[in-house]
Structure 1
Amino acid sequence: MTGAPVLPRLAGARAPTRDAGRWWPVVPAAVAAAAGFWGLSVPSLWRDESVSALVARMPFGELRRFLADLDAVHALYYLLLRPFAALPWTPEIAVRLPSVLAFTAAALGVAALGRRLAGTPAGLYAGLLYALTPIAARYAQEARSYALVSAVAVLATWLLVKLLDRPGAGVCAAYGASVALLGWLHLYALLLVPAHLLTAWLPALRRPLTNPMPAVVRSAVAVGAAGAALVPLLVLAAGQRDAQVFWLRTPGWAELAAFPGDVAGAGAVVLFAAAVWGAVRAPAVAVWAVLPVALSFAISQVQPVYHPRYVLFAVPLLALLAGIGLAGVRWRAVPVAVLVLFAVLVFPAQAAMRQPAARPDDLRTLAATLAAEERPGDRVLFVPQRFRLFVAVYGAPYDRLTDLTRAPGAPGPRTAAELDAALKGVDRVWLISPRIGTKYADDERYRTLKGTLVPGQTRTYGSIHLTLWSRNN
């Protein structure tokens, strides 16, 4: 094995220039695209994806009101999703397509970045590892912003390398814009910025720079400008935090220890062992990959922000680190064997995530059940009200059923008295809710329904419950 450090290339060494080497990053991108499209339409959309699809289709006036109350942190993503949500394709393909494209771009970027830092083999190995990593492929097939965040994190890191290599006003502006874009797509992804700044400020991580201070100053200026561009989002997000991530809990050491398995499943040992060897050769890349996760965990001890998908943007940098590690092996057959082993180990996880009921909720089967069993005159009630947004991406049965949750034109849900009046002469109501338990047992709409109709069998579709309430004839 060879232990020569690779980071000097970060500052001064030129990337390989042979034409054949220039095109190698296309290979991981092609593998990522194949993985992204493999079984894309098979799993049902689940509640988070339903929100994405329905919000992306809202008229702008309704969208503005929705974002004023909730999900302002995802505003840019919803706007980017709008043209895809309007495509006349199956909803699974239409709304997941941006994530597949972002995953493909991220794999290309990882390979290009690895090539620039450590040579063509490092880039090829890193890109392939990323394309095969289960958590990356999982969120490549989700209609949420996480795959796009990862792609922008790779772009921002690429621009940082350029900024440290050849400081200039243009690349400084581009880097600042990429950081702002990263924050507008997901605020927690800004945990990458401290890792970037450490690279700029610590000589041990950025040596040897010919003229280091301009890069250091410009990186700080770029981050400051990006921060200013994010102020409106930060203000909105602060007011919505309790409604947005109330479900997060303080993680313990067990959650942190589970992170490698969350990322790579049975292939975790292979990926992280290669990354450890890569850290010896590329300490700056190790900082990029590790510090955001560590910061997320540390902050969560005071204010919970940690979840594996919220640090997904660190995974391409982890793959980059592992690719650099494999490229440090003298015997070229070893990296090939490691890649094959990794592909074999992660294949069961890759196949499992593409099963029809592989998502937390099976909204497609829920909609099919309603469509098959609804009768003329049936009504539907959502407890709480937001569950309509959680399930109605498969619109046909919900478009036909009269919604008792909210009166036409009313801004909020019906009161108990209003629901009681609306139930006059109604024989059957479909209740769509989470498990009622003690949390929703006191909901006034649920209590009114319970006092009027009798529940039948409850069927579950992940966390979504469907119960037919009818007159006790």
Structure 2
Amino acid sequence: MGGTGLFQTLGRIAATRRNSLLCAVVLALGCATRLYHIGSMPYWLDEVTTVHRSSLSFGAMVHDSLVAHHLPSYFWIASLSGAYGLGESVLRLPSAIFGGATAAMLYIIGMRAGGWKAGLVAGLLMALSPLQVQYGQEARSYTFVMLMMAMGLWGLVEIARDPRAATLPFRSPGARLFPWVIYTLGTLGALQVLSTAFFWLISANVAAIAVGLDPAVDRRRFWWRWGIAQAIILGLTLPWFMAMAVATRGNMGSGTDWVPAMTLHSFTSTLGSLYFMRISRLISFHLFPVVVPGFGALLLAFGLLGVVYLRRAGGQRRLASVAPTMLYALLAVAIVPPLLILLISIGKPLWMPRYLLWSAVPFFVFVGLGVAVLPGRWLPLSTVTAIALLASVNLVPYYQSETKPRWDLASRDLVNILEPGDMILVPDRGPITIMNFFLARDGQSIPDDLWTRDIFKAAVHVQDGGRVWVVEGKVGQADHTPPKSYNAILAPLGSPIAVLPEGDLITFKLFDRSPDESLIAQGDAAPRL
């Protein structure tokens, strides 16, 4: 008995050291993939908002956040980073760290659900996912809220893993307070960052039903503790949203009015980047060519394998720590958020990668569980190695992809090619705002009298012998003027004599010959830009 106890103790120590080492490796890898080339792409419109808000006083920052339907917590953290400079690398640093920490958190969740191999696969996928890396290089709050929700999921997994211990009196032997604290703090933290965390809160409450029905649970005590946790979370969260309602004058629903209507393309593109590890362009629904054919399908197969094996008794013998309660809880948090967003998007568009980013977390856990239940010793290990290598190869082209519009280069090139008397025509103020942001770094700007949105003013300028530069390109994720409509509006200018691309997403068109006078004669009856 003494020898057996010694071996058990040594085994626990070895497992603890192994888990600590692997968690540290995943953390380092997650941070490294996000810090590498973190400043290679310029800010885009949303990030410029972060730059502006981080420069405000605390009170002004809180007010500006609430008016814009945002919570101020992330912007306060960004302001601390911004004290060391407002360049891309510095201001994006918190997001990179939060993203790396989320990968480490996934290792912990997967390990607790199905062993170290499940945790390693889940953590590696989070560390190497192109979409997750891209948001980790974004001066926005999405990786922060993901870290907090992952923390909440960790607590929920611990509760579902041993519901009896989670509902014992706290002074009893084997009772566990820790899962309740972690769940509450994580969920509360998420709701202090982004309102989309309410989807996590809803899914967690659905998962709680599965836990509450577990035959080993003390149902009265479970629901009492669960109710206290929800009361703490909502009690400390709702005041912020009441303040937001006041700041927006009750117009709370307008914060997502910019989201484009869901199409088949946007639907499949989002799924491709979220679950199938496709490299995408953050500012649009564009998917870059497949890097590793079949890799996404392989992950989906392992994810389904994880579900199937957890459902069957054989799978539960291999993963003794996982009860049916765990399966139902994980399924709830995996399915409920995307399903709710999909249903809402039928009436009010909300289907965007940024709002679905969290859904990858439980999916990666299921993939890890699918690998962990493979038979034998070497097959799971070789599969973990293969997934790590394929994910690494799949990520490499991301760093050479133009994932954001190069308004930094466009602004510099435009002022260099402008001649005295030239006019700039834009569809809205967005291109001027973003170009002036970058020009301000060199003490330059595009003055208001140099640009216009009036197509007929531009046409008259060309007819009088002047030159007009039309600037086309995406500034944000919403297309105010679709390309086809844009080209139709430009008809009074005639045909451009030069078309100059600025990367993949921005184009300059030069007009300097007499336009179609019959179109000019229509005057204000035709549309304006």
User: What TM-score comes out, normalization by structure 1 length?
Assistant: 0.76
User: What TM-score comes out, normalization by structure 2 length?
Assistant: 0.69
Per the TM alignment, residue 145 of structure 1 is displaced from its structure 2 partner at its CA by 1.9
Relative distance call for 1:463 and 1:77 in structure 2 (3 A) is farther
For 1:93 and 1:377, the matched residues in 2 are separated by 37
Relative distance call for 1:220 and 1:54 in structure 2 (3 A) is closer
Equivalent residue in structure 2 for 1:159, among 155, 162, 168: 155
Amino acid in structure 2 at the alignment position of 1:191: F
- Tell me the SS of whatever aligns to 2:33: helix
Per the TM alignment, residue 441 of structure 1 is displaced from its structure 2 partner at its CA by 10
Relative distance call for 1:215 and 1:321 in structure 2 (3 A) is farther
Amino acid in structure 2 at the alignment position of 1:272: L
- Tell me the SS of whatever aligns to 2:42: coil
Which structure has more RCO (C-alpha within 8 Å, separation ≥ 6)?
Answer: 1
Aligned to 1:308: 353
Equivalent residue in structure 2 for 1:288, among 333, 353, 367: 333
CA deviation map 1:32-74 (0-9, x unaligned): 12211223233333333333334333466875675465x3325
- Contact 1:113–1:158 (CA under 8 A) maintained in structure 2: yes
Aligned to 1:423: none
The correspondence of residues 26-425 of structure 1 with structure 2, limited to 5 A, is: 26-58=24-56, 63=61, 66-67=64-65, 71-73=68-70, 75-88=72-85, 91-162=87-158, 166=166, 175-203=183-211, 208-209=216-217, 212-232=222-242, 235=245, 239=251, 241-242=253-254, 244-252=256-264, 255=267, 259-260=271-272, 262-263=274-275, 264-265=277-278, 266-279=294-307, 280-281=309-310, 282-283=326-327, 284-347=329-392, 349-355=394-400, 358-370=402-414, 372-373=416-417, 384-396=428-440, 399-404=443-448
Per the TM alignment, residue 110 of structure 1 is displaced from its structure 2 partner at its CA by 0.9
- Tell me the SS of whatever aligns to 2:108: helix
For 2:130 and 2:273, the matched residues in 1 are separated by 10
For 2:420 and 2:62, the matched residues in 1 are separated by 34
Between the two proteins, what is the percent identity of the paired residues? 19
- Contact 2:111–2:120 (CA under 8 A) maintained in structure 1: yes
Per the TM alignment, residue 227 of structure 1 is displaced from its structure 2 partner at its CA by 4.8
- Contact 2:425–2:470 (CA under 8 A) maintained in structure 1: yes
**Bigger mean CA deviation after superposition, 248-257 or 92-101:** 248-257
Aligned to 1:8: none
- Tell me the SS of whatever aligns to 1:187: coil
For 1:68 and 1:216, the matched residues in 2 are separated by 29
**Bigger mean CA deviation after superposition, 342-351 or 111-120:** 342-351
Relative distance call for 1:338 and 1:251 in structure 2 (3 A) is farther
- Tell me the SS of whatever aligns to 1:185: coil
For 1:132 and 1:463, the matched residues in 2 are separated by 26
Aligned to 2:322: none
Amino acid in structure 1 at the alignment position of 2:76: L
**Bigger mean CA deviation after superposition, 277-286 or 231-240:** 231-240
- Contact 1:179–1:226 (CA under 8 A) maintained in structure 2: no
For 1:361 and 1:146, the matched residues in 2 are separated by 20
Amino acid in structure 2 at the alignment position of 1:154: A
- Contact 2:95–2:144 (CA under 8 A) maintained in structure 1: yes
- Contact 2:270–2:352 (CA under 8 A) maintained in structure 1: no
CA deviation map 1:68-110 (0-9, x unaligned): 65x3325433332123234247x23112211210111101111
- Contact 2:426–2:472 (CA under 8 A) maintained in structure 1: yes
For 1:188 and 1:52, the matched residues in 2 are separated by 18
- Contact 2:136–2:143 (CA under 8 A) maintained in structure 1: yes
For 1:438 and 1:400, the matched residues in 2 are separated by 32
Relative distance call for 1:243 and 1:289 in structure 2 (3 A) is closer
For 2:154 and 2:125, the matched residues in 1 are separated by 18
For 1:181 and 1:340, the matched residues in 2 are separated by 34
For 2:389 and 2:370, the matched residues in 1 are separated by 20
**Bigger mean CA deviation after superposition, 98-107 or 230-239:** 230-239
For 1:455 and 1:253, the matched residues in 2 are separated by 31
Per the TM alignment, residue 195 of structure 1 is displaced from its structure 2 partner at its CA by 1.8
For 1:290 and 1:203, the matched residues in 2 are separated by 17
Amino acid in structure 2 at the alignment position of 1:200: A
- Tell me the SS of whatever aligns to 1:306: coil
Amino acid in structure 1 at the alignment position of 2:35: F
Amino acid in structure 2 at the alignment position of 1:118: G
Q: CA RMSD in A?
A: 4.5
Give the number of equivalent residue pairs.
444
Per the TM alignment, residue 465 of structure 1 is displaced from its structure 2 partner at its CA by 4.9
- Contact 1:274–1:323 (CA under 8 A) maintained in structure 2: yes
Greater C-alpha radius of gyration: 2
Name stretches of at least 5 consecutive residues in structure 2 with no aligned partner. 1-11, 171-176, 279-293, 311-325, 459-465, 474-480, 515-529
For 1:402 and 1:137, the matched residues in 2 are separated by 34
Amino acid in structure 2 at the alignment position of 1:120: W
For 1:161 and 1:40, the matched residues in 2 are separated by 33
Relative distance call for 1:389 and 1:139 in structure 2 (3 A) is same
Per the TM alignment, residue 428 of structure 1 is displaced from its structure 2 partner at its CA by 8.2
- Contact 1:296–1:306 (CA under 8 A) maintained in structure 2: yes
For 2:238 and 2:14, the matched residues in 1 are separated by 37
- Contact 1:380–1:430 (CA under 8 A) maintained in structure 2: yes
**Bigger mean CA deviation after superposition, 431-440 or 329-338:** 431-440
CA deviation map 1:382-404 (0-9, x unaligned): 65234444444434477412531
For 2:253 and 2:295, the matched residues in 1 are separated by 35
Relative distance call for 1:256 and 1:48 in structure 2 (3 A) is same
Per the TM alignment, residue 458 of structure 1 is displaced from its structure 2 partner at its CA by 5.5
